[in-house]
Amino acid sequence: MASSPLDSSGVQGRLPSRQKEPGSHEGKGTSIWDHFTLSSVSGDLATETANVASDSYTHWEEDVKALELLGVRSYSFSLSWPRLFPDGNARNQPNTAAVEHYSCLIERLLEKKIEPVVTLHHWDLPQVLQERYGGWKNDTLVGLFEEYATFCFHTFGSRVKYWLTMHNPYLVAVQGYGTGVHAPGETGGLSSSLIVAHNLIRAHAKAWHTYNTNFRSAQRGKISIVLGSHWVEPQRGQATTANVELCQQSIEAVLGWFANPIFGDGDYPVSLKIKHGTLLPTFTPEEKLWVQRTADFFALSFGPNNLRLGRNLVPYGQTVTPDLRRVLSWIKLEYGDPRVLVAEGGWFSEASVGREDTVATYLTKSFINQVLQAIKLDGVQVFGYTAWSLVDGFEWNYGYAVRRGLFYIDFSQPNRTRTPKTSAQYYQRVVADNGFLRDETSTEINGRFPCDFHWGIADSTLQVHFYPFSPQFTDPHLYSWNLTGDGALRPVPGVKLYTRPAQCTDYLAIHGHLRLFESSGASHYRFALNWSLILPQGDLSNVNTEALRYYRCVLTELKRLNLEALVILYYPTHRAPNLGLPGPVHASGGWLNYSTVEAFQEYAALCYQQLGSWVQYWITINEPNRLVDVYSGGREKHQAAHNLLLAHAKAWRLYEREHYSQQKALVSLALHADWAEPAVPFLDSHTAAAQRFLLFELGRFLDPLLGARYEEKHSKGGYPQEMKAYLEERARVMGLPGSPLPSFTEMEEEELRGALSFIALNHFTTRLVSPYPHAQASFRQKQPPDHDCQILSDPTWPSSSVGQALVPWGLRKILNWVSQRYGGALPVIVTASGVDDQAPVKDKLRQHYLRSHLQEALKARQLDGVNLQGFYMWKLQDRDSPSIWAFHVQPNTNPKPRPPSLSTEILSLTVVSQKMTQWRPAGRTNLAWCARGCSRTKPCWFLGAASWLQLLCWRHSSSSLSSPRKNKQKAEGG
């Protein structure tokens, strides 16, 4: 979500924290939760009591200091009914110590300019009322609650402007009296829950009317009730009318159960009446009017408790999601756009997580972002967000097994020290900024890429069409036409004509494909060969010469069009059988077996010999760092990476030794290179984890080839020293026999060193990285990765339909990281970058991706001095990967591409030379032309704030122009 204040009206940007605290001090009576946790009803919870918990009763001054540290503008807390009135009867004398305690707390909050938001009843009903009347099943409690509320309004109301009568009555009715999971632990089922809910609604309404009649004019406060909800929606592809109606009924069964009488027409939703029939209590016409509109704002609870219950309420075809934005929009549409306070937002962590609650931090960020979206995009009148909760405490039926506080408490220590968690430090920043500030890196610059810059399009393995579309040279028959007047062709018997094999010009698929590529205006085309197709047996015993001839035809046609090829020898894919390896090679162990290294060298030699005359850039292996992910154990991953490196080095040395002197091509391997950002940048452990992740992802492959810039000139080379030291220490700590990382021989180190002509990076997004939470390892069957990193995504980042986050500045950061570690001598080429977009032509998401990423590429080159020399869009057509790039293909028997997407027009350079001075692209301005020294055979680009990407000089479309690199003799290759 873009930068925006959380609120601009009402209570200014309320960002409070919340704490409920039963406790047991100074004359407090027993609550139903005290009894519940000490009784056999709660089973495993019997040994865990809420008598002390975080002990906010004693440590309230420390809580106020914690609030000051956060910088919040309000604090939501609950009064304890059994603390104020141990016997539950507000007509008797109150506990003076409790009154003084709450008065001191409220006064201190106001002194610190923190608005108190006070809840009258957060589940801790006096046990005596449960025993005497049966609790909320008895409507006597409606009057008793009104008397208790009256006392609170009278005693504290002059200093409290926001009152909440009760918190999430749904959980009281269902889990307290229906299933028995909560106190008082009764299992009365549906009928009890319906009666309890009815009485809770009436108790709230009575308290509201009391305040409205007797206190509002003098105190000028506002009062509401906190209602909890989940969110449910149809599963993807199942948004039928029936499913949507079922989702509506699911929300009505929870939120609508209480909200409809109070915010709606004064009665229960029709769906509940139909479902429960006579079991559902009824409101008289007078009661409907009396209950209706008994809230001054809508207070919403959205947390794990309701979401857990929501999963039990949805039938097949629906799914429960933590989408706070949708709930807020539903409230607006259903109840006439009320002002809304998010009275509970946040998630939980396992107790073992401790102070670095990174996942909970980003879930909190997600909820706050959803609130911002609801305000800015949907027009919901949200005036405050309440993070749950201030400190760790006793979490009801979960006891101390989960933590929800912003401040950590060690419950084994009597002093109950409050220690800020990661989430507290993050929340402090959100409060200070009143939302999320826009990143300064979004500032655009003006500048120009050089005229020899690679503007490319990247594809995966090129599909081979063995049979030409034109049969004119392959059919040996002579035909007669219309001999009998019927217009038919008939073979002439006994006549056989001379035929020849199909030529490159006969492959209409090649012609159409490359014309499509040419129309994009790109100068370089990246595609992959199919190893298993060229060498089905994995050796030279069976060479598919037809496949080689087809690839040769593609390359010669590219040369004829004055276009360059960047060819990948091995393109692993998880979808293809055998990981893209020839079957016998895979069967013999694949990349775990050194024999695959030798097989790859043999395959590379064949390709260099047969195709090298038309190729100026080779990639030996595409994304070996992703390929190793398919291997299960740590040792297997490291061994596979080891052999992939050796295979690349041997292929590189072979080219240097036998082909470079004549062909002059550059050879590299391409790495998947997403940026790794520390999940919590102000924690050293997260910064270290992000750097470690990059070393395992990139350094593992680049260090043995290039060494690190800071290392001694005569360093032995090999894997990154930091990586080796980490794995050795990890093995020692875990009691393993040794590091799983293989070692290179001296000969192998020598063969690896320098075996790279340029650095090729495939960049798509940015990942958040944090240390792997080892404290949770006992709860997981999956072993942590060797780099001990956990990967997250920021929910506030814009993302595509498949969840790819758009983080343009990550490209600049990864380019700088590579340049700083390995120096700027070698050119860097981004050999693939793109995003999915469901729109076939007006692909606004992809346009934004391309525009913003090219800006960051320009910054890296122009401002940071990165030797960036190319950028390849992924990919040409979306036939195999729907909506992934430039041209959309309609699925039919004879597919023809639709017009190019608008993002492709950004790269379009095909202009007839004599019309270039007259051509003006629609909607584009500020065209400029290249300096005189710029080659007219190469594209030259200009980036500006007003026009994203502008052409400075144009490539002539004439095929008579020679290649800018070397004018090679054109061969048909047939």
**pLDDT, tens only, 114-123:** 999 999 999 9
pLDDT of residue 966: 35
Please choose, from the candidates 821, 460, 412, 776, the residue with its C-alpha nearest in 3D space to the C-alpha of residue 623: 460
Q: How confident is the model at residue 764 (pLDDT cuts 50, 70, 90)?
A: very high
Q: Inform me whether the pLDDT recorded for 760 exceeds 90.
A: yes
Q: Where are the domains of the chain?
A: 2-9+24-433, 454-775+782-889+904-909
Residue-wise pLDDT tens digits, 454-475: 999 999 999 887 766 555 556 7
Residue 220 pLDDT grade (very low, low, confident, very high; cuts 50, 70, 90): very high
pLDDT in tens, 297-321: 999 999 887 777 766 666 666 888 8
- What pLDDT does residue 901 have? 58
**Which of 739-753, 785-799, 939-953 is least confident?**
939-953
CA neighbours within 13 Å on the CB side: how many for 454?
A: 27
CA distance linking residue 856 with residue 345, whole number of Å:
35
Give the residue-averaged pLDDT of 919-928.
Answer: 29
Q: Tell me the CB-side half-sphere exposure of residue 491, using CA atoms within 13 A.
A: 8
Q: What is the mean pLDDT of the chain?
A: 83
Of 636, 637, 669, 634, nearest in space to 650 by CA: 669
392-401, 462-471, 504-513, 874-883 — which is least confidently predicted? 874-883
If you average pLDDT over residues 59-75, what whole number do you get?
94
- Residue 157 clears pLDDT 80, i.e. is over it: yes
Name residue, tokens 């300019």.
113
The CATH fold of domain 454-775+782-889+904-909: TIM Barrel (3.20.20)
Measured CA to CA, the distance from residue 228 to residue 303 in angstroms comes to 8
* Torsion, CA 30, CA 36, CA 39, CA 44, rounded to 10: -140
* Amino acid at site 543: V
- The residue among 700 and 500 whose pLDDT is bigger is 700
pLDDT for res 176 = 95
- How far is it, in rounded angstroms, from Cα 37 to Cα 918? 83
Rounded Cα distance between 314 and 233, Å, is 9
Q: Which of 220, 242, 60, 73 is nearest to 153 (CA)?
A: 220
Average pLDDT over residues 729-734: 91
pLDDT per residue over 397-448, tens digit each? 566 677 888 998 887 777 888 889 999 988 999 999 888 776 655 688 898 8
SS3 of residue 912 by DSSP: coil
Q: What pLDDT, on a 0 to 100 scale, did the predictor assign at position 890?
A: 44
pLDDT of residue 311: 64
Calculate ∠ Cα 735-740-745, nearest 5°: 135
**CA distance linking residue 380 with residue 382, whole number of Å:** 6
Virtual CA dihedral for 764, 770, 776, 781, nearest 10 degrees?
30
Nearest-angstrom CA–CA distance, 929 and 932: 9
Q: What is the mean pLDDT of residues 774-798?
A: 75
Determine phi and psi for 420, rounding to 5 degrees: -65, 135
CB 436 within 8 A of CB 796: yes
Residue 954 has pLDDT above 50, yes or no: no
Question: Which positions ≥6 away from 161 have C-beta within 8 Å?
Answer: 115, 219, 220, 221, 222
**In which band, very low, low, confident or very high, does the pLDDT at 477 lie, cut at 50, 70 and 90?**
confident
Distance CA 313, CA 675 (A): 41
Name the band, by pLDDT with cuts 50, 70 and 90, for residue 496.
confident
Note if the bond before 113 is cis, omega within 30 degrees.
no
Under DSSP, the state recorded for 482 is S
pLDDT at 500: 63
Is the pLDDT higher at 792 or at 40? 792
What whole-number distance in Å separates Cα of residue 50 and Cα of residue 186? 19
More confident residue, 311 or 278: 278
H helices within 612-720, ranges in order? 624-627, 634-658, 660-663, 684-694, 700-706
The per-residue pLDDT for 39 is: 77
Number of neighbouring beta carbons within 10 Å of residue 66: 23
Contacts of 910 (CB under 8 A, 6+ apart): 518, 519, 521, 955, 957
Residue 480 has pLDDT above 90, yes or no: no
Contact at 8 Å (CB) between 819 and 861? no
Q: Does residue 850 have a pLDDT over 80?
A: yes
For residue 894, pLDDT beyond 60: no
Q: Could you give the angle at the alpha carbon of 844 between the alpha carbons of 843 and 850, nearest 5°?
A: 90
Matching fold, domains 2-9+24-433 and 454-775+782-889+904-909: yes
Specify whether the CB–CB gap between 400 and 830 falls below 8 A.
Answer: no
ω before 536 within 30° of 0 (cis)? no
Rounded CA-CA distance 342/431 in Å is 15
Of 40-54, 489-503, 621-635, 805-819, highest mean pLDDT: 805-819
Q: How far apart are CA 738 and CA 726, in angstroms?
A: 12
Closest CA to 404 of 48, 17, 762, 963: 17
Question: Rounded to whole angstroms, how far apart are CA atoms 222 and 212?
Answer: 9
Instruction: Examine the pLDDT at 934 and tell me if it is beyond 80.
Output: no
* In contact, 56 and 21? CB cutoff 8 Å: yes
Distances (CA, A) of 705 to 346, 593, 668, 719, 742: 47, 21, 10, 9, 16
> pLDDT at position 933, please?
35
H or E stretch including 845?
helix 844-862
The per-residue pLDDT for 521 is 87
Tell me how far the alpha carbon of residue 595 is from its chain's centroid: 39
The number of residues in the chain equals: 974
Q: CA quadruple 102, 107, 110, 111: dihedral positive or negative?
A: negative
pLDDT at res. 944: 34
Band of residue 486 on the pLDDT scale cut at 50, 70, 90:
confident
What SS3 class is residue 637?
helix
Q: What is the mean pLDDT of residues 811-839?
A: 94
For residue 867, is pLDDT > 60? Answer: yes
pLDDT at 372: 93
Please write the tens of the pLDDT for every residue from 589-620. Answer: 999 999 999 999 999 999 999 999 999 999 99
**Whether pLDDT at 506 is above 80:** no
Does residue 960 register a pLDDT over 60?
Answer: no
Q: What mean pLDDT is predicted for residues 626-655?
A: 95
Q: Could you give the CA distance from residue 970 to residue 963 in angstroms, rounded to a whole number? A: 11
Which of 289-303, 340-354, 564-578 has maximum average pLDDT?
289-303
pLDDT level of residue 394 (50, 70, 90 thresholds):
low
- Please give the residue that has the higher pLDDT: either 162 or 785: 162
SS3 track for 35-64? HHHHCHHHHHHHHCCCCCCCCCCCCHHHHH
CATH value of 2-9+24-433 in 3.40.50.800, 3.20.20.80, 3.10.310.30, 3.10.450.200: 3.20.20.80
Enter the pTM of the model. 0.80
Query: For residues 420 and 49, is the Cβ–Cβ distance under 8 A?
Result: no
Q: Per-residue pLDDT for 837 more than 90?
A: no
By percentage, how much of the chain surpasses pLDDT 70? 80
What integer is the mean pLDDT of 325-336? 97
- Least confident span in 90-94, 254-258, 380-384, 937-941: 937-941
pLDDT of residue 312: 67
Which of 438-442, 808-812, 882-886 has the highest average model confidence (pLDDT)?
808-812
pLDDT score of 107 more than 80: yes
Percentage, residues of the chain above pLDDT 90: 60
- Is the pLDDT confidence value at 293 over 80? yes
Query: Alpha helix (H) ranges present in 215-281?
Result: 216-219, 241-251, 257-263, 270-276
